[in-house]
A and B are shown apart, each in its own frame.
Chain A
Amino acid sequence: MTPIHSTEGIRARRAMLMAGSLLAAMAFSSGAGAEPLALKICSIDDRSGSAADTGIESLNGLHMVVDPVNEAGGINGRKIELIEYDGKTDPQLTATLATRCAEDDKGLLIIGPSPTAPAAAVVPVANQNKIPAYILSAAANALTDNAEFQFRFGPKAAQDAIAVADAAAERGFKRVAIINNSVPFGIDGSESVMAALKEKGIEVVARETYDVAATDVTPQVMNLSSAKPDLVLVYPYPADGARVIRSIRQMGVTAPVIMPRVGLMKAFRELAAADANGVLVPSSVDISRPEVKKFFEDYAAKYGAVAPTPSAVQGHDAGTLAIKVLSDAEVQKAIDSGDLAAARLAIRDATLRLGQIDGLQGQAGVTYQFGKGQHHGAPDKGFFVYTEVAGDGKELVAPDDAKFRPAQ
């Protein structure tokens, strides 16, 4: 056996290294330019678990922009392949699926997930593999801080909070009570809104927290009621949101109730039924826009009717930008070269370059703001409208502005 530090041993190792490098270079040069890359997009979202409806609707929304492009022949004659993964609202599984997309499937882009925890699990995978990820509704504020490859289409919690504080200030509310569950979504949401309300000089008269497994939240609602608020803010998950609103109605609290995000979710509205009527929700979907109305009509024709929630729209908008980016000349050049890393980088750069699209979220004329140093698309102003739950939870309608005022 040749000693590792002998002169002959070193020469032999050098020769092997050179031969290896030469082979690798040959393999690389023969691969590059020979085979263009397939247009693979991985849709990773929660199609089972507690946030299943968000993932199902976002995928349907994505199909609504991708399918017509494929039916028309694809981009430069190549069809988009959607690889669909169910993250099951499990961050660890979601990270594994993102790795599989990046390493095994040779995906160009990840679209999803929707909730914060799985989305946060995708971020390190995206940055490590340098694959762009279009995250959808994840609300955690810091998710796109110092971002490299992740982009977010939904508003962050602080923007929900700004929308709530703006509405409260405009309508003259002075005494706000907050009730949230004890998971990060509830705590983050309530802390963000407390900061936003403080800036507007609005007093938070009570803040209550409850366990998501509690069958009865009467103690918290009692404290909230005895603080005599003129506005109640609720930050729950769907099932506990139904319990909270039932308890609020049961205890005779008459102040208007705002429930950011969850108020739009089908699971909450079904579980709360009649008790959900009148709940106000800041939404990034403006149903008064004709193109939004048309989108939901087309969606209903294809997949069955859904309430106009942001998930389907976010899938649509992420797909719209993905198609625009994939059609870009620089991106096509990188794809044609067969160099996966270069193609992903070109997609990231094109997203920053072309990211000011006019999507279906936000009020008319408000565009996404992706750009250099800006990986969070939703602007602070003009992105929200208020919607009201009606029809025993089955409908989302424009709110009755007279009811959305402090009691005299």
Chain B
Amino acid sequence: MEKLSYLILSGVTNGSVYGLIGLSLSIIYGSSRVINFAQGDFVMLGALSAIMFVTTFNLPWFIAIPGVIGVVMLTALALNYGVYRPMVRRKAPPLTIMMGTLGASIMIYGIGLLVWGPDQKFVPALLSLKPLIVGPLITNPQQLAIIATFAAFLVLTWYILYRTRFGLSIRATGVDPKVALLMGIRSERIVLFSFLFSATVSGIAGVLVGPLLGGQIGMGLMLIVKGFLAAILGGLGSPFAAAAGGIAIGMMEALMAGYGTSLYAEPAIFMLILLVLFVRPYGLLGDYEAERR
């Protein structure tokens, strides 16, 4: 039982990281039907700008966190006004816009290289990395913070989408931006909000995983693969489905490593995801979300 508890905790921790990335990918996809390849770079910016504010400028966290959010939001604004809007106004298809975000990702990487250099860096931890005993389990406060933040963003996303008129506009834009426009919804603003919100989610994810993964300009790439898998497995159109996909992947990894063989865990998980998608091509919760809309 103790082993199972550890495995669940580990699965939820890893799953929360994948879920946060999947959630942020899905928020943009839900409003624009575009997969933002630069999403991983917001994670990188979150981790490395935390180093800049906390270590280089020696600022306290209550100033550093808004600073980090400011950095990722400015980048999201540049991405929205510099890549997304010009392409949409020229009636570029989603695939072309996705290539635009890939180009932006390479540019952000280059700028990151100029600012922070190539080395792997120590990211200061918001909370302690020292062992923390929770009942029969040993974990650390930083890992618990990842799970708590994931849960908080899920609740916030749910509240915005389903308890506000603005959320209704977001959902309407996601279903059909042209019809939404005819109904008086300014879809460009909705998409801008989704860029800013998802950048914040990823930036905060970067602050939290940075101390555990190490800060490096290429760190976004390795995380976005799992985040994208999470979104596909859960159902790309819904932030909650993408988040659930992240938890599912994290749990599968942990249980496979704990009770099966860790050596073949990754290929086995990819195979399992493929099998799920054969049966439910829109992801585990994709259809449910589509009907709900």
Measuring CB to CB, which residues of chain A are less than 8 angstroms from any residue of chain B? 47-50, 52-53, 88, 182, 207-220, 222-223, 238-240, 242-243, 246, 249-252, 266-267, 270-271, 273
Contact = CB atoms under 8 A, between A and B. Distances in A.
B95 interface: no
B83 to A, nearest CB: 24
Interface stretch (B5-13, B65-73, B194-202, B281-289): B5-13
A238 B225 contact: no
Given A216-B10, A218-B9, A273-B122, A210 B257 contact: yes
Interface stretch (B159-167, B212-220, B232-240): B212-220
Contact of A239 (B117, B129, B216, B255): B216
Interface in B182-216: 209, 212-214, 216
Interface stretch (B23-31, B85-93, B258-266): B258-266
Given A208-B257, A220-B257, A250-B140, A215 B212 contact: yes
A251 to B, nearest CB: 7
B273 interface: no
B216 A50 contact: yes
Given A213-B222, A246-B129, A270-B122, A219 B214 contact: no
A208 B214 contact: no
B263 A207 contact: yes
Given A53-B119, A219-B6, A209 B258 contact: no
B146 interface: yes
B3 interface: yes
Contacts, number: 105
A238 B214 contact: yes
B6 A222 contact: yes
A223 B209 CA distance: 24
Contacts of A47: 118
A117 to B, nearest CB: 14
Given A208-B262, A271-B214, 9 more contacts: A50-B218, A208-B257, A214-B14, A216-B254, A219-B7, A220-B257, A223-B262, A240-B213, A267-B119
Per CB-CB distance, the 10 closest pairs between chain A and chain B, nearest first, are: A48-B118, A239-B214, A267-B120, A219-B257, A219-B258, A218-B10, A52-B118, A216-B13, A213-B222, A209-B263
Contacts of B14: 214-216
Nearest to B269: A211
23 contacts: A48-B113, A48-B117, A48-B118, A52-B119, A210-B257, A213-B223, A214-B14, A215-B209, A216-B212, A217-B10, A219-B6, A219-B7, A219-B10, A222-B258, A223-B258, A223-B262, A239-B214, A243-B212, A250-B138, A251-B138, A252-B138, A267-B120, A273-B122
B143 interface: yes
Contacts of A210: 257, 262
B76 interface: no
A57 B258 CA distance: 40
B41 interface: no
Contact of A182 (B6, B209, B266): B266
A216 B120 contact: no
Contact of A214 (B146, B253, B258): B253
Contacts of B122: 270-271, 273
Contacts of A52: 117-120
B103 interface: no
A50 B266 contact: no
Chain A CB within 10 Å, residue with most, of B7, B10, B139: B10
Contacts of A220: 257, 262
Given A213-B223, A214-B253, A219-B7, A242 B262 contact: no
B17 interface: yes
A209 B262 contact: yes
Contacts of A239: 120, 213-214, 216
Contacts of A273: 122
Interface in B2-60: 3, 6-7, 9-10, 13-14, 17
B82 interface: no
Chain B CB within 10 Å, residue with most, of A207, A217, A219: A219
Contacts of B213: 213, 215, 239-240, 243
A249 B223 CA distance: 25
A52 to B, nearest CB: 4
A115 to B, nearest CB: 13
Nearest to A246: B129
B171 interface: no
Chain A CB within 10 Å, residue with most, of B140, B143, B213, B218: B213
Contacts of B17: 215
B45 to A, nearest CB: 17
Contacts of A208: 257, 262-263
B223 A219 contact: no
A81 to B, nearest CB: 25
Contacts of A214: 14, 253
A334 B140 CA distance: 64
Nearest to B9: A218
A250 B225 contact: no
Nearest to B137: A218
Contact of A209 (B214, B255, B265): B265
B118 A49 contact: yes
